[in-house]
A and B are shown apart, each in its own frame.
Chain A
Amino acid sequence: GIQVEQSPPDLILQEGANSTLRCNFSDSVNNLQWFHQNPWGQLINLFYIPSGTKQNGRLSATTVATERYSLLYISSSQTTDSGVYFCASKRLGSARQLTFGSGTQLTVLP
């Protein structure tokens, strides 16, 4: 199956700082999603972005499908941004499962 790798595994920021999270995937995909899992375990959809660039407030994401990577940008981070960020993708031609990376644990300090 497809391999999804995220980096860095851990990130500690001061409030107000910017950050970039990376997701590499091993095969062509037709579905790529970024999620934020809060401390209560809720998995929140951030972006559905199999290709191109999207922005939503302080967050934006870019996927370069031909080079098999996606980036999540967080600007002016806030303490409420803390949690685990997951990238998940679905291999082109597969209608079945999302394969998740191991996540980036983000801690934003006040």
Chain B
Amino acid sequence: DAGVTQSPTHLIKTRGQQVTLRCSPISGHKSVSWYQQVLGQGPQFIFQYYEKEERGRGNFPDRFSARQFPNYSSELNVNALLLGDSALYLCASSFGGSLTYSNQPQHFGDGTRLSIL
């Protein structure tokens, strides 16, 4: 079975531009989470989506938004890009997003490496 797939793998943008990153979860997984990993640090939580609804948001500005589609894939959008948005963006999927399934492991994609010039 395919794992979590993310596209594109690399992206170069300039300050002020907008970017859309895409994620397809493991088949059967209904929850998608997004993380940002800057160089030298651990991943930081941005969003969780479950059943097409936002279920959690980390400490990120409103320039960051996301959505989940009926097939459970997801997009992360970042507007008005800043130099500090340069990072590896990771998508993770898990079976459920409710408290009942909160103990399920998360599986990560290979990430999108975003560079802002």
Which residues of A line the B interface, CB within 8 A?
Answer: 30-31, 33, 35, 40-43, 45, 48, 50, 86, 88, 90, 93-103
Contact = CB atoms under 8 A, between A and B. Distances in A.
Contacts of A42: 110-111
B48 interface: yes
B88 interface: yes
B103 A97 contact: no
Given A43-B90, A99-B45, A31 B102 contact: yes
Interface residues of B, number: 28
Nearest to A98: B106
Interface in B78-117: 88, 90, 92, 97-99, 101-108, 110-111, 113
Contacts, number: 65
Interface of B: 33, 35, 41-45, 48, 55-56, 58, 88, 90, 92, 97-99, 101-108, 110-111, 113
B33 A97 contact: yes
B48 A97 contact: yes
Nearest to B90: A43
A43 B111 contact: yes
A103 B54 CA distance: 28
25 contacts: A30-B102, A31-B103, A31-B104, A31-B105, A35-B108, A40-B110, A42-B110, A43-B43, A43-B90, A45-B108, A50-B103, A86-B42, A88-B43, A94-B102, A95-B55, A95-B97, A95-B99, A96-B56, A97-B33, A97-B56, A98-B45, A98-B106, A100-B43, A102-B42, A103-B42
A97 B58 contact: yes
A70 B107 CA distance: 20
